[in-house]
Amino acid sequence: MRQVALEVLHERKAKILNAVIHHFIKTGKPVGSNVLIEEYGIKFSPATVRNLMAELEEEGFLTQPHTSAGRVPTDKGYRSYVDSLVNLQKFAIEEEERIRKEYERKSKEIESLLSETSKILSGLSQYTGFVLAPKAEYNEIINVELVQIAPEQLLIVLLTHTGILKHRNIKASLGQDELARLRIFLNRSLRGVPLAEANARIVSEIRKFQENERKMYEIAEQISDVLFGIQDDLYMGGTLNTMSVPEFNDFEPIKSIIKLNEDKEKLIKIINNDFNSKGINVKIGSENLPEELKELSIITTAYSDGDKAVGVLGIIGPKRMPYDRMMSLVGAVSRLLNDFFKKGQ
């Protein structure tokens, strides 16, 4: 009997906690026992509801901003709520169709697509959307082009198998015959090699150059240095969307997002931790390592080229967000991006 009683108590607390979070997400206001009884069909007495809320507070799932006010969820409370969303509500058919139509209208160039994907995430969530481009270690070079665009300026253009174009300039001058030989050398050395390994491959291959190719040897070294400096690209959209969130009137969370947009390496480090994770990942408030993100939540998932994860996308918003809908949104956009790569566009 005692075990049954404990299970019933746990079930009641879960019901109260989910109702509190659902109402707080919807209104942004502390939640009292009367609201739960009147609006959420909680069929317990007011005294029972108050006692259960007090226990949830003692256990760290809820907190009371003021002694006379209702309660609001803590990070621990949000985490419990998110973890309980095992069977996510399916995206409404018309909303997923809306996303699909957005994709159909966009350019087929991959970089434009990734940029537009961050804007789609932002537009549909009303928070900040981001997409980490296919990572260098999974982005294989399929062609290298060299163009002498000025007497002392050489343009290097790399095309990868995912459709990403990388281009950099170096200070160098080569005649047409020299350009042709260097182009052949680079393509022979780098075709099929991931961007992340290109530097080491060139360093290995240029040792084979003969003395009469000294000039191209030196330029190849410059190109090697350029490839070593290529970083992951991060596309962000809707950076200022969170300005409309009521609880952000102190401007600190907004400044945090603006700083992330300016210093994308910090965000890249955070979301890189989710690169090899399966499914949808949610970081809530204090679960995000940097102190400045304690008022924000980040929802991410990896997207794939075939059966291999190549990048990460997601949204950044307030802790008070409709997690079920946002998790579904991130999952739906990830599936569409997977389909794009699967078709070999």
Tens of pLDDT along the chain (345 residues) come to 344 355 666 888 888 998 999 889 888 889 988 888 888 878 888 888 889 999 999 999 999 887 767 899 999 999 888 877 654 444 445 555 566 565 555 434 677 788 888 888 988 888 888 898 887 777 788 888 887 877 788 888 788 887 777 777 888 887 777 888 888 888 888 888 888 788 888 877 776 655 446 666 677 777 777 666 666 678 888 766 655 555 555 556 666 676 666 667 777 888 887 777 788 999 998 886 677 778 889 999 988 887 788 889 999 888 888 998 999 999 999 988 888 877 654
The answer to whether 12 touches 52, Cβ cutoff 8 Å, is yes
**Separation between Cα atoms, residue 225 and residue 13, nearest integer Å:** 59
pLDDT value, residue 82 = 83
Say how many residues make up the chain. Answer: 345
Structure tokens at 212: 């009469």
**Separation between Cα atoms, residue 213 and residue 218, nearest integer Å:** 9
Q: For the chain, what is the radius of gyration of the CA atoms?
A: 26
Residue ranges and CATH numbers for the domains of the chain are 2-83 (1.10.10.10), 93-134+234-342 (3.30.450.40), 137-228 (3.30.390.60)
DSSP 8-state symbol, 288: S
Q: Is 306 helix (H, G, I), strand (E, B) or coil?
A: coil
**Separation between Cα atoms, residue 268 and residue 30, nearest integer Å:** 34
**Separation between Cα atoms, residue 106 and residue 117, nearest integer Å:** 9
pLDDT value, residue 315 = 92
pLDDT value, residue 327 = 92
**Separation between Cα atoms, residue 162 and residue 3, nearest integer Å:** 55
Beta strands across the sheet bearing 141-150: 141-150, 153-160, 165-170
Angle, helices 252-262 vs 264-272, to 10°: value is 90
**Separation between Cα atoms, residue 132 and residue 321, nearest integer Å:** 22
Residues forming beta bridges with residue 314, ordered by sequence position: 130, 300
Give the amino acid at 170: I
Residues forming beta bridges with residue 160, ordered by sequence position: 141
**Separation between Cα atoms, residue 191 and residue 160, nearest integer Å:** 9
- Using the structure block, give the residue that is written with the tokens 């309980």: 84
List phi, psi (to 5°) of 27.
-110, -25
pLDDT value, residue 253 = 60
List phi, psi (to 5°) of 111.
-65, -40
pLDDT value, residue 2 = 41
Residues 6+ apart with CB under 8 A from 220: 182, 185, 186, 202, 206, 209
Sign of the CA dihedral with 127 first, then 128, 133, and 136 last: negative
User: Quick count: other Cβ atoms within 10 Å of Cβ 262?
Assistant: 9
Residues 6+ apart with CB under 8 A from 84: 14, 18
